[in-house]
Structure 1
Amino acid sequence: MSIVDIPRAKPPRSGRRLRYRLRVAAVAAALTLMCALAGTVAARVYHGQLLVLLVAGAALGAFAIGFALRNRPAFLAPSASLLGLAGYLLAAIVLTDDGTDPLPATVVDALVNAVPRTLTALIPVEPAPDTVVVPVFLTWLAATLACEFAIRYGRTLLGCLPPTLLYAAGLYLVGPNADGGTLYAVAFCVLAAAALAVTAAPPERRPDSDAVVDGPAPSKAPALMGAVVTTCVLLAAVALLGPAAARLVTSSPGDPREYVQPPQLTDIDLNPLVRIAEWSKFPEQELFEADTSGDSWMRLAVLTEYDGTTWQAAGDFRTAGTVIPGSGDADFTADVEIIGLGGKLVPAAADPATVTGLPIAVNLDSRCLLTPDGLATGSSYHVESALATTDPAAAETARPNLTDAATVAVPPGTPEIMATIADYVRTTYDTPFERAQGLADFLGGHYAYNPEAPSGHDLPALGFFLGSPVDAGGQRGTSEHFAAAYAIIARLVGLPSRVVVGFEVPGGSSTVTAGQGSAWPEIDFEGVGWVRFDPMPAPDAVPVPPEDTLEQMEEETPSPEEDSGGGGEAEDFNDEALEQDGDFNEEAGAEDAGIPVWAWYAAGALLLACVPLVLKARRALRRRRRLTRGGPADRVAGAWAEVLAAAARAGVKVEGSANAEEAAARLAPLKGDIGSLPRLVNAAAFAPHAVAEEDARTAAAIATEYPGTIRQQVKRWKRFLT
């Protein structure tokens, strides 16, 4: 088939032109669907169907522009496509924006932070301005390139490459967080086969208003047969080889989110327990306003890991959308407006299900929330939570959940008073729940609340709080001390524990002050979950000195001898039968005799005398190793090291950064002959293969003779010792 230019007056052959246009349209449709399908692969980890519509629109829009301008100058289609991409991205940002920030600021933030936030977003990813920019942009770009390659230049196989790369990028973004998507792969292969089967003609064979197609019409049978055969082969390959390949894969694909740094906490959020002291001293400080659907404990942080100095949260925060995965049905709502609460941690009742009004990241281990931009006065958000409820009756008979090692780990160096209290709880109460409640009752009944107590929950500070007398400042603390001490002692008893920092918020509209902030411990029970315990003393309660209760326990606890029945009567150490005057004293004298003192002094002197011999032997072995092991270049380097070591013994040290010539100049005052060794060292460093065995022997001879030539310049004590 050929194209012949003819005058415009001659009409083209409309049948051939129609068939060609149908082929071009079929290729364009197949590639458009391939780009849309490749973008949809990534949409499997997004919430809802909004991203599917956006990527499909991007593929259709990019191909429509390229297809409409296929016969225009080559620079026009990319320029128009770039303008179309800008407009489409702006529309996508407006469509997914919640309107909390000005549109220009939202656009800039979405473009700057699109890649890291897409990779750190919690799955399912909420379609937001900063999480839809990347898939929409890549889909538009793939569709533009595919249209140019396949439609303008007639290279359909090359046109299939951009959507294929987009498909691979979508698989990488999904990682192990969705199913294999076999149907997506089959559909993608079928579309590629269809596009190749109806391959578009190159531009020199394109009929248009100035050209007609001459010659006989080509047979449609080979093209149809090729399309059928190609499609059948691809489907058979996917059906037969797909399961076999799947069985060969023994590991899940990597997750790109592992390589992106998650949102980071500020200093005051890394250890939120230290905020309790400030809140206790200024209880009237207004932190935020809350309008809740009922009474609740709004958590700020959940701390499970303790190293003896600080309590910290486990796990990282991951960017999330408005929907927090893993929560139940929301039955609690709260509208919050920040007044004076700083940091990045966001108060919310457990477990948060949806959050609107703030960009949110969530810690899936603790279910706590964080806003990457930090809280500021006037910030507001709406949170819906599935309140965590526990069955008290089930907790009373449940066993502790010991599956998480972090919740039972006890740092070394715990104060003795903690072990004493743990023994008291263990011997006084039987079941795990009774011990958890008994520990709370013990701390609440024997210690007092003092808002002026200094902050600190490291082991020495807690030991001072629990064991020091009242007149020295002990036995008085804030909820920081009570909660931290409870959690550690609970672990000594065998109960998994953690510390929670948050606020007690009444139902309805109220202003939450610093006085409502506190810390409390929780214990994990099998089949029940985390149960909150209150170790704080009752208001106006007079604490009982803990030493009274603990001493009484020691008096009532029988000694091991009494338990075994061997402690009936005290032994009479004045019994004359126990006094021995002969053999007993002789045996004791024999035991005291032992090795004579002079033998120890002699052994020490012998060891000191051996030190120079050991050092000399060590130096000789090192010299032998350097001069005999390795190739010629290695032995030349070893000889140079021996020369520098001998010069150092004589008081001339050469810096490691000095080259061979500079080192030789430094060694010149010693009057020792190093001959051609600097030249050999340079050769060994820059051309090691050029160094011969003869060169290595020459370097060894120089290194062997050099220490003797400068021996008189070495201090006597060094010569004696080394």
Structure 2
Amino acid sequence: MVKSRTVLVPLSLAALVAIATLPLGRIYHGTLLTWLLLGAALAPVLISTALQRLPAYPVAPVSVLALGGYTLWAVQVSARAGQVDGPLWTLWTDAVRNGIPRLLTALIPIEPQPDTVLVPLVATWLAALAAAELAVRGRHVLLGYAPPVLLYVGCLVVVGPNAHQALWQPLAFAGAAAVGLAVTGRSGTDALAQLSRAARMTFRVRLAVGACAGLAVTVGLAVAVAPLLAGRVHHVPTDPRRYVAPPSLDAEDENPLIRLSGWALNPTQKLFDTDITGPAPARDLRVRLAVLSDYDGVNWRVGGDYREAGRVLPAVNGPGATPATGPAVRQRITIDDLDGRLLPAAPTVHQIDGTRVAYDQASGTVIRPEGLYPGLSYTVQSRQSTVDVNLLGAAEVPSGGSVARFLGLGPGTPPTSMSDLAQQIGGNVAGGYQRALALEDFLGTHYTLVNDAPSGHAYPNLNFFLFSPPALGGQKGTSEQFAASFAVLARMLGLPSRVIVGFQARPGVSTVHGRDALAWPEVLFTGIGWVPFDPLPKPNTSPEPLESFKPKPNPSTPPPSVAPTISISVSPPGPHRPSSSPSAVPAAPLPPWIPFAAGGGGLTLLLGGLAAIVALRAAQRRRRLDRGTPTNRVAGAWREVLDGLRLAGRPAAAHLPATEVAGYANRVGVPAHERRKGTVRPSTPPLDELATLINQATYAGTAPSEEDAQRAKQQALAYVSELRARRPWWRRLLWPADPRPLRWR
């Protein structure tokens, strides 16, 4: 039984900790994290088991040193698997500093990278260490199950509603716990053979009554609690990620549409190099920078929810998302003079290697949270979406709350002239796709594409672009005005639309310059998805007169000076190069309640642990002094005295007989500092009679009586109480919470 306990208890603890971490594997990509956490569950249990014969104080330092080495190795392995470059120490310190916020802002499935594996690994190691010390060294198996249970609860909270149910895991957890309890249980029937027949019958009756009472309580609890638990089976748990803000964009990245005029004025500015392979035609090969879905009457904005992601990105899940079944496109992109955080990539992206990214799953766009810098190089694997042209002729557009974002026109009232123009163009056209084609044809045949038009896409800017005479600067603009006008007019016709900012690319090795930047609109059609349109005029064509489309009641006028426009100086800006090394971006801050909750939880665990130790000490004293035969109780009283001497820091030598131990105890009853001060206090109660009783019970073969056991109890309690009272105040306070007597033998 002893050998089975030595082997099975550590194994059950390691199994409990390992099973507690399995829910995390359901929100991580691959199996790397599962194997790392399995090692973190086994190693501290093995260390504590191997060192259980040594004093307790060296175990924690040894285990923490092993934890440091294991985390360094895990960071190296996860960095290699996730293709994260950098010195090992830098990766480790970054993971320590930003592990929690990045874990809670990472996109699911989470890529096992240094900053997403370190926190689960450390939590698993500490839970296994605490469980092993309590159950293996302290021999309190049930109390040792508390750390794995807390770890299991923490893993379930982190997973939240983001994974499917796995019934076998809690069943396996309960089974492993039962094994550990079974091998440490005691039957309590060893002494039945020494009892009389009547006593044995009485014992069995009491045992049966107790079992029936326990069964009744269990059934009652099951009947009372089962309906409550059944009602929570389909309850969706809270996702902790809702309380943590993901990386945010600055104004330049939130609205990159305003950068087009600057790039148009500096057409030779080198933005990035590309090496693109794939069967896509050159005219369809566009690298996307941003998707702008929100319009408030002044600015188009990205409004994305960017979450930390790994190399493999999940499929787009926003409105109009369709499986990308077109040709595969591989891009090798090297940044030159493009700054900001938005990462150029051809749609639809499903894998990025070479840099850490954050991903907006609704739009399929990516950013680099630390920012772009010259020389940054990464590889993108994309698959283009294809549209069945046979379905476009009769295509209609969706409606309802799911697409309300793509129909918004801002809080104010749009200009009547633009609303009238939209109705003149497509009000009498049947079919959503036909209305979109009418808009595309109108803008492409009545307006002129220029490079020196000022930036701006608020209502006054668009009204000026659409209706002002060419002599005053109207009816001319960059792709910014064409795409923004198309999208706004489309929304006025009930067509869900958005604006895309990107670059025209070329197959093979090439360079993208400022002149390659452009914007284009997209319209959402039911059952088809997002379809791009090209409202730009065809090369070498002259615009047609606008008079037949110009609203009569609202003659065009230049926008007033107080209009909320966004403009860029017409003088070519100097090339802007960011620093050669990316600037560090602070991790998303934790909500203010998390530190208080963590502190409160830690304080609760500490107070709970102290209360458990006090309760166990009290139970140990009752077991020694109040239970068993008088001989056992006299021996228990003597153990209380010996433990009291050890707690006071004056243990008796093991070779001394009981009478000499009693004399030694009487001498050390008064601390040295009181003897030096000459303090007059009553002497500690003598232990001579207790020493005589223990000698009589041990060597004389004469069993003490019930009265002897009571006197031994009184003498032991009186001596220990007086011994404690003579200690300093802080030692008196910690006396009942000292866990050492629980493992002294």
TM-score tier by shorter-chain length is: 0.5 to 0.7
- The residue aligned with 1:434 is 434
Letter in structure 2 aligned against 1:161: A
CA shift digits 1:21-77 (9 cap, x unpaired): 321211110010000111122221001111110100111111111111111121111
Secondary structure in structure 1 of the residue aligned to 2:131? helix
Work out whether residues 352 and 379 of structure 2, in 8 Å CA contact, stay in contact via their aligned partners in 1: yes
Does residue 331 of structure 1 match 2:328?
yes
- Partners of 1:54 and 1:301 in 2: CA distance: 37
Question: Structure 1 length normalisation: TM-score?
Answer: 0.68
Amino acid at match of 1:136: L
How many angstroms apart in 2 are the aligned matches of 1:408 and 1:110?
A: 42
Partner of 2:271: 287
In the alignment, the residues of structure 2 paired with residue 326 and residue 230 of structure 1 have an alpha-carbon distance, to the nearest angstrom, of 53
One of 371, 381, 389 as aligned partner of 1:374: 371
Q: How far, CA to CA, are the matches of 1:417 and 1:189 in structure 2?
A: 71
Of 172, 176, 183, 1:191 maps to 176
Give the whole-Å Cα distance in 2 for the aligned partners of 1:183 and 1:239.
23
For the residues of structure 2 that align with 1:56 and 1:236, how far apart are their CA atoms?
Answer: 38
Asked if 1:321 corresponds to 2:304, the answer is no
Q: Structure 1 CA distance, aligned partners of 2:69 and 2:537?
A: 63
Residue deviations 1:210-249 (CA, integer Å, cap 9, x gap): xxxx99999xxx9xx999x999x99999999779724345
Instruction: Tell me the CA shift for residue 352 of structure 1.
Output: 0.9
Q: Is 2:90 the counterpart of 1:113?
A: no
Q: Does 1:509 align with 2:506?
A: no
- 1:601-680 matches, within 5 Å, as none
Bigger CA drift: 185-194 or 249-258? 249-258
Conserved 8 A contact 2:450-2:478: yes
Measure the CA separation in 1 of the matches of 2:226 and 2:361: 34
**Matches of 1:410 and 1:23 in 2, distance apart?**
72
1:142 deviation in Å? 0.4
| In 1, Cα distance between equivalents of 2:239 and 2:48 | 35
Q: 1:242 to 1:106 in 2, by over 3 A?
A: farther
- Equivalents in 1 of 2:219, 2:385: separation in Å? 50
Deviation at 1:415, TM superposition (A): 2.4
Q: Partner of 1:271 in structure 2?
A: 255
Matches within 5 A, 1:443-462: 443-462=443-462
Matches within 5 A, 1:205-224: none
After superposition, what is the alpha-carbon deviation per residue over 1:306-349, rounded to whole angstroms, capped at 9, x for unaligned?
11011112341111111111255782211111111111111112
Q: Which residue of 2 aligns with 1:410?
A: 409
Q: Could you say which residue in structure 1 is the equivalent of 2:301?
A: 312
Where does residue 256 of structure 1 map in the other structure? Answer: 240
Asked whether the equivalents of residues 27 and 110 of structure 2 are also in contact (C-alpha less than 8 Å), the reply is yes
**Equivalent of residue 101 in structure 1, options 81, 86, 89:** 86
Structure index of larger Rg: 1
Query: Partners of 2:429 and 2:224 in 1: how far apart?
Result: 64
CA–CA distance in 2 between the matches of 1:149 and 1:252? 35
How many angstroms apart in 2 are the aligned matches of 1:383 and 1:456? 32
Aligned match of 2:119: 134
Contact 1:186 1:238 in 2 (8 A): no
Give the Cα–Cα distance (whole angstroms) in 1 for the partners of residues 227 and 533 of structure 2: 53
How many positions carry a matched residue from both structures? 517
Please name the residue that 1:663 is paired with: none
Matches within 5 A, 1:70-81: 70-81=52-63
Q: In structure 2, what is the equivalent of residue 654 of structure 1?
A: none
What do residues 607-649 of structure 1 show as CA deviations (whole Å, max 9, x unaligned)? xxxxxxxxxxxxxxxxxxxxxxxxxxxxxxxxxxxxxxxxxxx
| 1:420/1:533 CA distance change after superposition, 3 Å | same
Q: Does 1:303 align with 2:288?
A: no
Q: Is the 8 A contact 1:483 1:499 kept in 2?
A: yes
Residue by residue over 1:487-523, the C-alpha shift from the partner in whole angstroms, topping out at 9 and shown as x without a partner, is: 0001111111100111111111111111111110000
Q: In the alignment, what sits opposite 1:400?
A: 397
Residue aligned with 2:115, SS: helix
2:380 to 368, 383, 386: 383
Cα deviations across residues 546-604 of structure 1 (Å, max 9, x unaligned)?
124447999xxxxxxxxxxxxxxxxxxxxxxxxxxxxxxxxxxxxxxxxxxxxxxxxxx
**Structure 2 residue aligned with 1:144:** 129
Post-superposition CA distance 1:414-446 (Å, at most 9, x none): 223312321222246322211101111111111
Match of 1:90 in 2: 72
Counterpart residue identity of residue 424, structure 1: Q
Tell me how far apart the structure 2 counterparts of residues 305 and 316 of structure 1 sit (CA, whole Å): 13
Indicate conservation of the 8 Å contact 1:402/1:408, yes or no.
Answer: no
Identify the range of structure 1 (130-139 vs 292-301) with the bigger mean alpha-carbon deviation.
292-301
Q: Provide structure 2 residue ranges, at least 5 long, that are not aligned to the other structure.
A: 195-203, 317-322, 555-745
Q: Distance in 1 between matches of 2:126 and 2:241?
A: 23
Equivalent position amino acid for 1:263 in 2: P
Residues 87-106 of structure 1, C-alpha deviations (whole Å, 9 max, x = no match): 11011100011252222221
Match of 1:48, SS? Answer: coil
Task: Give the whole-Å Cα distance in 2 for the aligned partners of 1:370 and 1:271.
Answer: 14
Who is 1:464 aligned against?
464
Q: Aligned-pair distance for 1:250?
A: 5.7
Alignment partners' CA distance in 2, 1:237 and 1:101: 56
Q: Determine the structure 1 residue equivalent to 2:727.
A: none
Does the CA-based 8 Å contact 2:157-2:240 persist in structure 1? yes
Q: Distance in 2 between matches of 1:47 and 1:305?
A: 32
2:490–2:497 Cα contact (<8 Å) kept: yes
Partners of 1:354 and 1:348 lie apart in 2 by 10
Equivalent position of 1:157 in the other structure: 142
Per-residue Cα deviation, 1:243-269 (whole angstroms, up to 9, x for no partner): 972434563111011111101112210
Separation of aligned partners in 1, 2:148 and 2:124 = 8
Whole-angstrom distance in 2 between the partners of 1:427 and 1:89: 65
Q: How does 1:350-369 map to 2 (within 5 A)?
A: 350-369=347-366
Go from structure 1 to structure 2 and tell me whether the alpha carbon gap of 1:413 and 1:378 turns closer, same or farther (over 3 Å shift).
same
| Mapped partners of 2:439, 2:23: distance in 1 | 54
Partners of 1:150 and 1:458 lie apart in 2 by: 69
Pair 230,48 (structure 1): closer, same or farther in 2 beyond 3 Å: farther
Give 2:60's aligned amino acid.
Answer: P
Could you tell me whether the CA contact under 8 Å between 1:70 and 1:151 is conserved in 2? yes
Distance 2:374 2:218 in 1: 60
Q: CA deviation at 1:113?
A: 0.8
Among all aligned residue pairs of Structure 1 and Structure 2, give the percentage whose two residues are the same amino acid: 41
CA contact (8 A) 2:396 2:526 kept: yes
The reply on whether 1:481 has 2:481 as its aligned counterpart is: yes
1:424 touches 1:550 (CA, 8 Å); kept in 2? no
Q: Are the structure 2 counterparts of residues 369 and 450 from structure 1 closer, same or farther at C-alpha, using a change threshold of 3 Å?
A: same
Amino acid at match of 1:25: V
Deviation at 1:536, TM superposition (A): 0.8
Residue 345 of structure 2 is matched in structure 1 by 348
Contact (CA 8 Å) 2:311, 2:352: kept in 1 or not? yes
Between the aligned partners of 1:51 and 1:235, the Cα distance in structure 2 is: 40
Distance (whole Å) between structure 1 residues aligned to residue 392 and residue 223 of structure 2:
52
What is the identity, as a one-letter code, of the residue corresponding to 2:71?
L
TM-score of the superposed pair, with normalisation by structure 2? 0.66
Query: Could you list the per-position Cα deviations for residues 271-306 of structure 1 after superposition, in whole angstroms to 9, with x for gaps in the alignment?
Result: 111111111111111111111123422111111111
User: Partners of 1:124 and 1:239 in 2: how far apart?
Assistant: 39
Letter in 2 for 1:286: K
Whether the aligned pair in 1 keeps the contact of 2:417 and 2:551 (CA below 8 Å) is no
Could you tell me how far apart the structure 1 residues matched to 2:226 and 2:310 are?
35
Equivalent residue letter for 1:400: V
- Amino acid in structure 2 at the alignment position of 1:73: P
Q: CA deviation digits over 1:657-706, x for unaligned, max 9?
A: xxxxxxxxxxxxxxxxxxxxxxxxxxxxxxxxxxxxxxxxxxxxxxxxxx
User: What are the Cα deviations for residues 128-187 of structure 1, in whole angstroms up to 9, with x where unaligned?
Assistant: 011000111111010000000001111111110001000001000100001232211111
Q: Secondary structure at the match of 1:198?
A: helix
